[in-house]
Amino acid sequence: MADAINLEEALYHRGVTRRQFLKFCGLMASVLALPPRYAGTIASSLQAAPRLPLVWLEFQDCAGNTESFLRASNPTVSQIVLDLLSVNYHETIMAPAGKQAEQSLEDTLKNHPKGYLAVVEGAIPMGEDGVYCTIGGRAAKDIVREVCGNAIATIAVGACAWDGGLPAAAPNPTSAVGVKDAVPGITLINMPGCPMNVVNLTGVIVHYLTFKDLPATDQMGRPLFAYGQLIHNYCPRRGHFDAGRFVEEWGDAGHRLGWCLYKMGCKGPQALSNCPSVGWNDATSWPIGSSHGCVGCMSPHFWDTRTPFYERLPNVEGYGIEATADQIGLGVVAGVTAAFAAHGVISAVRGASKPIAKHESPPDQQSEAREDSPSGSSNGS
């Protein structure tokens, strides 16, 4: 492991007071859904924690998660995280370039075998032997195997690193996949989102430093503390939903009054995330708070499954035509009605021309010869 640090002193020199540090520990306890007394446990653990090397890999990405990581507007969060971690390799923010940069990665792998955290941002293209994304002449799929295979744990940040995200959206020209498919079997925490929320990433790291273990995850490998609750159930606009007050179009009276965005295609009722509680940009706001519906960016394959973003239900594709569920449903009902109406007319005409003798119709399954003959019967009464 890396050299231990005097965190309190380091923070003091950066202008972070002990009060701010304890507030951060309290925030982390609440994000991780721990009882308040754990704030003290977190504080003492972080102060005793050795500085953990971290390698941040970027593949098919937009660096949005890096932005999210760096733009934590509250200086305490980013400073504390950057002091707890030794970010040995991060293409966007590291000082070295070219060969020197790749050297830092090699050194980390050599000096800290099974002793560093790996963060992966972006999808990994598997098609054509990985030529669609190479760094220093090596394919992303080879880099990710080597780096993540030797890490203590890997954190896949963002939708792309989780399940391929935007690069993997149909038709997925580069056969992009997430880390879980590129390197199966590793210790992996998935933090989907477009981008992921830096508070949650910090929470995972703090959880690891405090308990020497990764937080509990759901069936898709997402930490439950961050992805365990439906946005809809914690939405500040839920009251408008239950009341039946909906925005009908952008900029209408309801929109200005902050009504529910359900009819504008908000995916909050199907999205698992702690956005309403944690907020974004240091809890300044969040999508629904700024009057735009949730697009479900933390949901699996959300570019395919959650589009169109401004419609309640997905369209139904087929033969190059897209139709809404209601168009198809009403079409089916109208078609069935028309078919049976026509059947009824034909039956009525036939009934008039070839009536079945009432009460004594001989069953033609027993006497095939009677078929299509006027049914004057002889048996029975």
Between 32 and 247, whose beta carbon lies closer to another protein?
A: 247
Between 207 and 237, whose beta carbon lies closer to another protein?
A: 237
Check residue 245 for interaction with another protein (CB under 8 A). yes
Buried b (16+ CB within 10 A) or exposed e, 202-218: bbbbbbbbbeeebbebe
Between 250 and 340, whose beta carbon lies closer to another protein?
A: 340
Check residue 236 for interaction with another protein (CB under 8 A). no
Binding map of another protein across residues 194-223, x = CB under 8 A, - = no contact = -------------------------xx---
Phi, psi for residue 205 in degrees, rounded to 5: -65, -45
Q: Which of 45, 104, 270, 291 binds another protein (CB under 8 A)?
A: 270
Q: Which of 1, 170, 336, 345 binds another protein (CB under 8 A)?
A: 336
Give 325's Cβ-side CA count (13 Å radius). Answer: 5
Bridge partner list, 60:
123
Bridge partner list, 230:
272
Helices (H), the chain: 7-13, 18-31, 38-48, 64-70, 75-84, 98-111, 140-149, 158-163, 179-182, 198-211, 224-227, 231-234, 238-243, 253-256, 275-278, 302-305, 325-353
Check residue 305 for interaction with another protein (CB under 8 A). yes
Between 83 and 181, whose beta carbon lies closer to another protein?
A: 181
Check residue 162 for interaction with another protein (CB under 8 A). no
Cα–Cα dist 317/319, whole Å: 7
Q: Which of 107, 284, 337, 345 binds another protein (CB under 8 A)?
A: 337
Give the single-character DSSP code of 207: H
Check residue 358 for interaction with another protein (CB under 8 A). yes
Q: Which of 243, 250, 284, 322 binds another protein (CB under 8 A)?
A: 243
Between 125 and 192, whose beta carbon lies closer to another protein?
A: 192
Between 107 and 360, whose beta carbon lies closer to another protein?
A: 360
- The answer to whether the Cα torsion of 269, 272, 273, 274 is positive or negative is positive
Check residue 92 for interaction with another protein (CB under 8 A). no
The closest alpha carbon to 117, from 126, 108, 127, belongs to 108
Phi, psi for residue 223 in degrees, rounded to 5: -60, 130
Check residue 356 for interaction with another protein (CB under 8 A). yes
Phi, psi for residue 172 in degrees, rounded to 5: 50, 65
Instruction: Please provide the size of the chain in residues.
Output: 381
Q: Which stretch binds another protein (CB under 8 A): 104-112, 179-187, 197-205, 370-378?
A: 370-378
Check residue 263 for interaction with another protein (CB under 8 A). yes
Check residue 50 for interaction with another protein (CB under 8 A). no
Instruction: State the residues that interact with another protein by CB under 8 A.
Output: 219-220, 228-230, 232-233, 239-246, 248, 254, 257, 259, 262-263, 267, 269-270, 272, 296, 299-301, 305-306, 312-314, 316, 325-326, 328-330, 332-333, 335-337, 340, 343-344, 346-347, 350-351, 354, 356, 358-366, 371-372, 375, 379-381
